[in-house]
Amino acid sequence: MAPGFRLRLPKRLMRQPPPLWVRKLRMGAALALAAAVLALVFGLYARPDFMLQMANQLWSCF
């Protein structure tokens, strides 16, 4: 390498990470969203008529 050559990082990599409370809030929101989606899917599986309709629609594609 030539003397004085320095690899510069993009500015987006040089930013400070968000504060801890922001990271915890994001993680909590992501977990709450995941729990809501899982609850919705479980609720749909508890309705056999809906699942039968979805299976029929899926098989009608083939």
Consecutive 10-residue runs of the chain (62 residues): their mean pLDDT? 70 79 96 97 87 90 84
Examine residue 25 and state whether it is found in any structural domain, yes or no: yes
pLDDT at 1: 54
Q: At 54, list the tokens.
A: 């979805």
Q: Residue 17 carries which DSSP code?
A: P
Examine residue 3 and state whether it is found in any structural domain, yes or no: no
Examine residue 49 and state whether it is found in any structural domain, yes or no: yes
Give the integer Cα–Cα distance in Å for 45 and 39.
10
pLDDT at 29: 97
Question: Structure pTM?
Answer: 0.58
Examine residue 5 and state whether it is found in any structural domain, yes or no: no
Number of domains in the chain: 1
Examine residue 54 and state whether it is found in any structural domain, yes or no: yes
Containing structural domain, residue 47: 20-60
